[in-house]
Structure 1
Amino acid sequence: MTINWSGVIPAITTSFNQDYSIDFAFFGEHCRWLADAGCLGLVPCGSLGESATLSTEEKIALIETALHAVGERVPIIPGIASLSTAEAVWLAQAAESAGCHGLMVLPPYVYSTDWREMKAHVEVVMRATNLPILLYNNPPAYKTDFLPEQIAELAQEHTNLVAIKESSSDVRRVTAIRALLGERLEILVGVDDEIVEGIQAGAAGWIAGLVNAFPRESIALFQLAKQVRAGQGDHAQLDALYSWFLPLLRMDTVPKFVQLIKLAQQMVGMGNARVRAPRLELHGAELENAHEIIRYALEHRPGLDIA
């Protein structure tokens, strides 16, 4: 299955039962709900999927669940991250054997150092598979920053590197990568609250977070942004939808983004707020503030009529 990167691809959350085991039945239902809404692929086992709290066996079981649920309809592109390079290689090969369509490769969870070592890590993983690779650059979270010239170096040396999830929160990275590589790599926005700016700068797609609770609105926002960039869209309609959505999208950019997005899912009736330790569910003023933002958004939810 060929991956179409030019759309909305959720970094899907991992749902837990009351005993914090994985709720595989709901996870499959959630996969189908997102695919039904028009998402072009799914990324399980990413940061939003609480990958750092999952065992390798749980990751493979989640990947297999996603493949069984929607793998014939949309591509499954799991996150590949671990404490060690050897484990990342094992997971990449296991995902390929399971039938995944691509891989999102992250730097190591904990160890962050210089370009030579980070390049060596991702290169070993890329060489271990024949699948197309989406490189995940998220310096705020992983303290590793793949600079545009370093991304260009990797792209020139590895033909299976086909896309970059850019989460540096600097929209100028989109134009910098384009200046070096042209159309060689697909660039996907990985920070929810700069999706419109990223599309205007030339990004092709969106690895999205709030889509887990608001898929129709996410897809509508993406489509409007693409239309406006092409000179065919309604600027006022885009501005109105983005203004409504931004308080929610900003929830994707803070340390407790997992708790906030899962709370939003619970409030729209598509999931629960449970998270695995060391994360804890929101409480007190923090919880009330989040409730207020989500409640307001739901009370003023826009009607959608996007061509």
Structure 2
Amino acid sequence: MSAFGKPRVFVPVVTPFRSDLSVDTPRFVAFCRWLIGQGAGLAVFGTNSEANSMSLAERRALLDAVLASDIDRTQLLPGTGACALTEAIELTRHAVAGRCAGVLMLPPFYYQGVSDDGLFAYYSEVIQAVGSDALRVLLYHIPQFTGVPISHALIERLITAYPNTVVGIKDSSGDWANTEAMLKRFPGFAVFPASEALLGKALPLGAAGCISATANLQPHAIASLLAATTADDRAVWEAKVTALRTIVQALPMIPALKAVVAHHMQHAGWSRVRPPLTAFSAEQANALLAQLDALGFSMPPVQQVAA
């Protein structure tokens, strides 16, 4: 069993913006509460949260707002990776001070072709600067975005040096062979695939659950798949979550997710994205919604998530 106990789903929570593109904090916190109520944990400031379009101050303030709510802090896994080492240290220290369950850390993603030595130094500097036994780090492997892969040799080196601190990884590479190899090579290390569609193969190998963008739309269904105790139940939930995932992942993920949430929450702030991303047009949104309608997809009533 991983450091996170039984398999869990964490959500890189999408971020609503006001018309001036400032963060709509009350609406974000309300949505976080709803996700928790649906059985999911919160990987706030993930890729699909548009975290890398936010300033350090915005991320700190938004985490403070979540911490100030009635959300269980053991459900929080904020993203704290940054290009600047000093920002990564500050965000990670802030998450530890807030008693979050752990942090999800991108590698520094501007310089390409950096060595494992350089990446080891980056993670080591953060861990040592934070200097807390309470720190739990999940690495974040998403080389198609960062251009900086996290090798198995680097994982081995980090968990050897920091066995109680570096406890897992999110594998967003989309490469099942890589996920499978990590699960087999690092037993007890919390490996989270980024797609619920892989859970049927990953769970028998000891996966810790998933950290999935489309959990913004189907947190209960994914949580139900993870909790299923019979083969029949698992098959039903796996088919359900995979069908939705297949539709959404074929599109630009962030605007697609936000278009769906905006429709079901009946609030335009959910559909807004920060440049350089572009929001879906009405035609794009309607085409996606029609596909989801054909699946019988729905989200709970607006009043459950409205700020």
- Tell me which interval the TM-score lies in, with the shorter structure as reference length: 0.7 to 0.9
Residue-by-residue CA offset, 1:52-109 (whole Å, 9 max, x unaligned): 1111111011111222224436432210122212221122122223443311111123
Where does residue 109 of structure 1 map in the other structure? 109
Structure 2 match to 1:191: 195
* Structure 1 length-normalised TM: 0.84
C-alpha offsets along residues 244-265 of structure 1, whole Å, 9 cap, x if unaligned?
A: 4334213664672111111221
AA aligned opposite 1:199: L
Could you tell me whether the CA contact under 8 Å between 1:77 and 1:101 is conserved in 2?
Answer: yes
What is the CA RMSD across the aligned residues, in angstroms? 2.5
**Structure 1 residue aligned with 2:245:** 249
Q: Deviations over 1:36-58 (max 9, x none)?
A: 1112x211111111011111111
Task: Please tell me the residue identity of whatever aligns with 2:177.
Answer: R
Could you tell me whether the CA contact under 8 Å between 1:5 and 1:188 is conserved in 2? no
Match of 1:150? Answer: 154
For residue 191 of structure 1, report the CA deviation from its aligned partner.
2.8
Change (3 A) 1:20 1:192: farther
Match of 2:277 in 1: 279
Query: For residues 111 and 35 of structure 1, what CA distance do their matches in structure 2 show?
Result: 36
- Contact between 1:175 and 1:202, CA under 8 Å: does it hold in 2? no
Secondary structure of the structure 1 residue equivalent to 2:173: coil
Q: SS where residue 169 of structure 2 aligns?
A: strand
Q: Mark the runs of 5 or more structure 2 residues left unpaired by the alignment.
A: 300-307
Unaligned runs of 5+ in 1: 302-307
1-structure distance, mates of 2:45, 2:238? 28
**Over residues 227-254 of structure 1, what are the superposed CA-to-partner deviations in whole Å (9 max), with x where a residue is unaligned?**
4xxxx421xx444443343342136646
Provide the rounded CA distance (Å) in 1 between the counterparts of 2:162 and 2:285. 45
Equivalences for residues 226-241 of structure 1 within 5 A = 227=229, 232-234=230-232, 237-241=233-237
- Contact 2:7/2:226 (<8 A) preserved: no
Aligned residues: 290
Contact preservation (8 Å) 1:196, 1:222: no
Q: Distance in 2 between matches of 1:284 and 1:193?
A: 28
One-letter code aligned to 1:257: M
In 1, are the aligned partners of 2:247 and 2:291 still within 8 Å (CA)?
no
1:110-125 paired onto structure 2 within 5 Å: 110-113=110-113, 114-125=115-126
Matches of 1:182 and 1:58, distance apart in 2: 37
Per-residue deviation at 1:17? 1.6
1:290 maps to: 288
* 1:292 CA drift (Å): 2.4
CA separation of 1:299 and 1:107: change in aligned 2, threshold 3 A? closer
Q: Output the CA distance in 1 between the equivalents of 2:196 and 2:129.
A: 31
Measured in 2, the distance between the counterparts of 1:78 and 1:138 equals 16
1:26 equivalent in structure 2: 27
> How far is 1:135 from its partner?
0.9
SS in 2 for 1:116: helix
Quote the Cα distance in structure 1 between the aligned partners of 2:217 and 2:253: 13
Q: CA deviation at 1:22?
A: 0.8
The answer to whether the 8 Å contact 1:14/1:27 transfers is yes
Match of 2:92 in 1: 92
Give the share of equivalent positions with the same residue, in percent.
Answer: 23
State the 1:281 CA deviation: 0.6
TM-score (normalizing by structure 2)? 0.84
**Partner in structure 2 of residue 181 of structure 1:** 186
Paired position in structure 1 for 2:304: none
